[in-house]
Structure 1
Amino acid sequence: YGACKVFLEGDAIILAILEQESDAGLAVSRACVLGREIIEIVQGYNELLERAGLPGLELGIGIAYQDSAPLYLMDGEQRIMISEALNESDRLSSCNKRARKAIESLGSPFRVYAFQTASAADAGENAEDITVSYNVGGIRMSEAAFRRLKQEISLDPIELGLPALWGSEEFRLHTGVVPLGNGIFRKILVRESRIPEIDARSSLNRWTERSYYEVCTHPAIFAELEGQRSAKVGK
């Protein structure tokens, strides 16, 4: 995938896919496929851990995109990358305890959610200060990364019979195929949804105009996708 390790610290690992002017320009789409493969590998190991009676490994992945070259500081011979995408990817991969408590009981096949805890007027200029996120075993991408993804590959809208939050969530699903070279292609499915504003009891106040984006990873979603396509072929 052409990814390089930026740093490994504590429970976080930061990878970067750097584009050159001569590249095909598939950094975000390749990051989506790489993220999904990381999730699938961890799921496989977690199944072995569960059989052994051991706790599984939990992770969340964030994909951020910066349309400019990163800066570097030099520490001797070691380069230290400076990029706004580093902090943003860390935020996208995070999971809030309050959001986790509200979502885990739903049994949803989606693994990424975002909530706004106050009105935008109360937030001032930084809406992220009032946003709580859920990301367990999921991949959340930034709005800039989603816009870039639409430039890299063709995304087609698709409808699947999947549960909607509070029964009123109007999410959109986009499917596309990522070329990896040597005749290898991988399918991705992206969910686009609006961020709900919730009260202190985690009940819905309203749906905001802000959006968030998930690269879907749950096997049940892809089983539903393949089932729909098989049904169309059989008609």
Structure 2
Amino acid sequence: ILALHEKEGEPGLAVSRACVLAREMVEIVRGYNELVTKAGLPPLELGVGIAYQEAAPLYLMDGEKRIMISEALNESDRLSSCNKRARKAMEPLGSPFHVYAFQTVSDADAGEAAEDFVMAFNLGGIRLSPAAFQKLRKEISLEPVTLQLPELWGSESFQLFRGLVTVDNDIFRKIVLRESRVAQVDPRNFRLQKWTDKSYYEVCSDPAIYEQLETEKAVAAARS
């Protein structure tokens, strides 16, 4: 668990920098897994959740130690989770996306407890909360981008955005965001029932996406 705090009078870039940090964490684990896999050892599994809370956190005192209390901590834990049934269905696909969300009942049946009926997939991925995504849009400019990437069930219709994050003086990092919709599925066979109106957000971590982005950029530059 890592918390980034913003202070009055300082640039508010907590979410964008958390996205960059999460990408670097995933890349480090991916590199480590390549080595341990060659050695016949089990890989590390990582899923990252990024949540944002505008209000300052509360603290409990345990002697001289402070224990932070924040709704964002609980939400980030949920965002980083990976449901076993969702993993069984999604992992064999080998998608360049590593975050998905599935609803197992209709909106009418779920009522106000829709989140209780969502199965999350996050394996080697980075999932943003809706509040974190909206905060990110205020921190940096997000430009829509089109890449030829596989759509779940051929009808996912996700939206990609790219942005540039200032890490330090003259140091920038690229990030690609994916906005997609929660799919309502039949939990017995994982077949698509319909696409809901609920969105979820992923900070893309697969190198193939960034390589394709650079290729598209080079092709566009050559044509101009």
Could you tell me the TM-score, scaled by structure 1's length?
0.93
Equivalent position SS for 1:79: strand
Equivalents in 2 of 1:168, 1:98: separation in Å? 21
Q: 2:161 aligns with which of 138, 150, 174?
A: 174
Q: Which letter maps to 1:209?
A: D
Give the Å deviation of 1:47. 1.1
Identity percentage of aligned residues: 65
Which residue does the alignment assign to 2:11? 24
Q: Does 1:231 align with 2:210?
A: no
Equivalents in 2 of 1:23, 1:35: separation in Å? 22
Give the Å deviation of 1:177. 0.1
Q: Does 1:59 align with 2:46?
A: yes
Which residue does the alignment assign to 2:100? 113
Equivalent position SS for 1:109: coil
Give the Å deviation of 1:23. 1.4
Which residue does the alignment assign to 1:142? 129
Q: Which letter maps to 1:106?
A: L
Give CA deviations for 1:70-129 in whole Å, capped at 9, x if unaligned.
000000001011110010000000000110011011111000000000012211212110
Q: 2:148 aligns with which of 152, 161, 173?
A: 161
Q: Which letter maps to 2:12?
A: G
Which residue does the alignment assign to 2:192? 204
Equivalents in 2 of 1:23, 1:39: separation in Å? 28
Which residue does the alignment assign to 1:221? 209
Q: Which letter maps to 1:59?
A: L
Q: 1:69 aligns with which of 38, 56, 78?
A: 56
Aligned residues: CA RMSD: 0.6
Q: Does 1:132 align with 2:119?
A: yes
Q: Which letter maps to 1:179?
A: T
Equivalent position SS for 1:210: strand
Q: Does 1:190 align with 2:177?
A: yes
Greater alpha carbon shift after TM alignment, 73-82 vs 115-124? 115-124
Equivalent position SS for 2:174: strand
Equivalents in 2 of 1:125, 1:79: separation in Å? 34
Q: 1:47 aligns with which of 29, 34, 39?
A: 34
Q: Which runs of 4+ in 1 moved over 6 A?
A: none
Which residue does the alignment assign to 2:110? 123
In structure 1, stretches of 5+ residues that fail to align are 1-13
> What is the count of residue pairs matched by the alignment?
222
In structure 2, stretches of 5+ residues that fail to align are none
Give the Å deviation of 1:60. 0.1
Could you tell me the TM-score, scaled by structure 2's length?
0.98
Equivalents in 2 of 1:43, 1:25: separation in Å? 29
Q: Which letter maps to 1:36?
A: R
Equivalents in 1 of 2:161, 2:113: separation in Å? 28
